[in-house]
C-alpha cells in the first residue's frame, strides 16, 4: 500500500474531459438538491429566473447567482441554528465547524455523516500527495476548538500514520513533544513554523539536527507558496514545506501541494472553481489573477453555489508533472487585504516576496496602510538580519527600490528595526494594519 503513487488514482488522474463530464453529472444533481431541499436556494434561483434544468453544460453555472460570507451569515441568523441554506434536517448533521469572521458572529459549516467521511478522505488524499505514509509520525498542531482544520488529523489516521493530537499548545510543550516523540511531519501556519524554529534555537535545540521533522505542512497564510518564505523555513528545519489551502465555509483543506510543489491541486471532484474579476464579476482569462469562486459538487448538508471566497489567485488546468490532472491554484492573498496604491494592486504576499528574498533582512515585516491627500499609501517596517551593520537609511532605500522594481510603487516610508523588535506570531501573523479612515 505504501508504494502506491496516488491515494485515488482513478479520480486524481482522469482525463480533463472525463473529469469535466464527472463534474457536470455531480453538479446537475447538486443543483437539483439545492433547489428542492434548501429554502434559500429555491428563493434565490427563482428571483434570478433560473432553474436547475437550465444547467446544460459546465459554463452554465454562470447563470446562477453568487453567494458570499455576508449572505451566509445573514441566512444563518434568519433561521438559527444552521440557517435556511441547508438542504438537510438538523438531525442529519453530525458535525459543525465555526468561523467568527470580522463581525464576531460565528458562521457554522455543517456536515452530514457522509459529508464528514468524504471530507476526511480528501484530507488523506492531500496528505498522501504531500508524501505522508503509514510509517510517518504526524503532529497535528492546529487549533481544535470549532476550527474546520481540527478534524483533519483523522485524515492522517485513515492514511495509517501515527497521529499526535497536539492542538494549539504552548511552544515549550510542543517542542517537548517534537524532541521526545521525534515525529516526522507537522502541520501549522508558515508564521508559526518560523517562530517555532526560532524558539527552538533559543532553547539550544537545532530543528535541523535535533528533531526528526522532514515535512512541514502549512496553511492559513500565503507564505507556503512564496518561494523565499518556503525556502527560509526549509533551511531552518531541513525539511520540505508543503502548502495547503482550506476554506471553513466548505471543508478543511481542499487543495494542497504534491511532490512537484508547483501550485496546489484542488479536489475538483468536490469543488468547481471559477476565477472572476471582483469588480465586474466576469470571468478572467485562463491563468490570470482574480477572485476564486467555489461551487460544491457533493456536500449535502449545505450546498455552496458560486461562493465568492474573497481569495485572490490563479488557476492552472494543465496536467501536472506528478501525473495528476486536477487544477492547481495559487493564492496571492485576501481581497480585503489588497491595497490599491497609485492604481496598483498590492498584497502583503507581494511585499513578503521581496522581504524574504533579501539576505540583509530577518524576513519579518509589518505593513501600515494610511491615507495621504485622499489616496492610499503604505509604510513598511522591516528588521535587519543579525550581523547586518548597514546604515538604516541605506538599507531602507534598498528595500524601497526592491519594492518599486517588483510592484511598480514605493512604500511611503521604510522603517528599519533591529532584529527581534517586531512581534512574532504564534498562530496567524497579522501583517497588515489599516489606519485609513480611523482604521483599527
Query: pLDDT by residue (tens digit) across 313-358?
Result: 999 999 999 999 999 999 988 888 888 898 788 888 889 989 999 9
Can you identify the CATH homologous superfamily of domain 1-334?
A: ANL, N-terminal domain (3.40.50.12780)
- pTM, to two decimals: 0.85
* Residue 105, pLDDT score: 66
Residues of the chain with pLDDT under 70: 1-2, 100-105, 426-427, 437-440
Spell out the alpha helix ranges (H) of 167-317. 171-181, 190-202, 207-210, 227-237
* Residue 36, pLDDT score: 98
Angle 75-79-85 from CA coordinates, rounded to 5°: 45
Q: DSSP character for 60?
A: G
Grid coordinates of 171: 511552544
* Residue 438, pLDDT score: 52
**Which is nearest to 12 in space by CA: 418, 328, 424, 237?**
328
- pLDDT tens-digit map of 227-274: 888 999 999 999 999 999 999 899 889 999 999 999 999 999 999 999
Spell out the alpha helix ranges (H) of 307-391. 348-356
Hey, which CATH number is domain 338-438, 3.40.50.1820, 3.30.300.30, 3.40.50.300, 3.40.50.20? 3.30.300.30
- Phi, psi for 25 (deg, rounded to 5): -65, -45
Q: Give start-end residues of each CATH 3.40.50.12780 domain in the chain.
A: 1-334
CA distance 8 to 245: 19
Residue 86 near residue 36, CB atoms below 8 Å? no
Strands annotated E in 134-270: 137-140, 162-164, 185-188, 215-218, 240-247, 251-256, 264-266
**Which is nearest to 354 in space by CA: 408, 393, 288?**
408
CA distance 283 to 107: 28
Q: Give start-end residues of each CATH 3.30.300.30 domain in the chain.
A: 338-438
* Residue 399, pLDDT score: 97
* Residue 100, pLDDT score: 54
Amino acid at each position: 500500500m505504501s508504494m502506491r503513487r496516488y491515494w485515488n488514482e482513478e479520480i486524481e488522474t482522469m482525463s480533463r474531459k472525463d473529469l469535466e463530464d464527472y463534474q457536470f453529472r455531480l453538479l446537475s444533481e447538486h443543483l437539483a438538491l439545492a433547489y428542492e431541499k434548501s429554502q434559500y436556494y429555491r428563493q434565490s434561483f427563482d428571483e434570478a429566473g433560473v432553474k436547475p434544468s437550465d444547467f446544460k453544460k459546465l459554463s452554465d453555472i454562470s447563470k446562477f447567482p453568487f453567494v458570499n460570507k455576508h449572505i451566509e451569515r445573514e441566512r444563518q441568523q434568519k433561521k438559527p441554528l444552521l440557517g435556511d441554506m441547508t438542504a438537510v434536517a438538523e438531525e442529519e448533521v453530525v458535525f459543525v465547524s465555526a468561523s467568527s469572521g470580522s463581525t464576531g458572529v460565528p458562521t457554522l459549516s455543517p456536515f452530514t455523516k457522509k459529508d464528514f467521511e468524504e471530507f476526511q478522505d480528501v484530507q488523506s488524499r492531500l496528505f498522501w500527495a504531500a508524501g505522508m505514509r503509514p510509517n510517518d509520525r504526524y503532529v497535528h498542531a492546529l487549533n481544535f476548538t470549532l476550527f474546520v482544520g481540527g478534524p483533519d488529523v483523522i485524515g492522517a489516521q485513515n492514511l495509517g500514520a501515527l497521529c499526535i493530537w497536539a492542538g494549539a499548545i504552548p511552544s515549550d510543550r510542543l517542542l517537548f513533544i517534537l524532541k521526545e516523540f521525534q515525529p516526522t511531519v507537522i502541520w501549522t501556519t508558515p508564521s508559526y513554523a518560523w517562530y517555532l524554529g526560532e524558539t527552538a534555537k533559543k532553547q539550544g535545540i537545532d530543528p535541523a539536527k535535533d528533531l526528526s521533522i522532514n515535512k512541514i505542512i502549512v496553511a492559513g497564510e500565503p507564505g507556503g507558496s512564496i518561494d523565499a518564505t518556503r525556502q527560509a523555513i526549509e533551511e531552518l528545519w531541513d525539511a520540505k514545506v508543503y502548502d495547503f489551502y482550506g476554506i471553513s465555509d466548505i471543508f478543511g483543506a481542499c487543495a494542497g501541494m504534491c511532490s512537484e510543489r508547483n501550485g496546489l491541486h484542488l479536489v475538483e471532484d468536490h469543488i468547481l472553481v471559477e476565477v472572476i474579476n471582483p469588480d465586474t464579476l466576469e470571468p478572467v482569462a485562463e491563468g490570470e489573477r482574480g477572485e476564486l469562486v467555489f461551487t460544491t459538487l457533493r456536500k449535502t448538508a449545505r450546498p455552496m453555489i458560486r461562493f465568492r471566497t474573497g481569495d485572490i489567485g490563479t488557476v492552472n488546468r494543465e496536467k501536472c508533472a506528478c501525473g495528476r490532472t486536477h487544477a492547481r491554484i495559487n493564492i496571492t492573498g485576501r481581497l480585503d487585504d489588497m491595497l490599491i496604491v497609485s492604481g496598483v494592486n498590492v498584497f502583503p504576499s507581494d511585499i513578503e516576496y521581496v522581504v524574504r528574498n533579501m539576505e540583509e533582512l530577518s524576513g519579518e515585516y509589518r505593513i501600515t496602510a494610511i491615507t495621504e491627500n485622499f489616496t492610499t499609501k503604505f509604510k513598511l517596517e522591516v528588521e535587519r538580519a543579525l550581523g547586518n551593520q548597514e546604515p538604516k537609511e541605506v538599507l531602507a532605500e534598498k528595500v524601497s527600490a526592491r519594492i518599486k522594481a517588483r510592484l511598480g510603487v514605493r512604500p511611503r516610508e521604510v522603517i528599519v528595526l533591529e532584529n527581534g523588535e517586531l512581534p512574532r506570531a504564534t498562530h496567524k501573523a497579522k501583517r497588515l494594519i489599516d489606519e485609513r479612515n480611523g482604521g483599527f
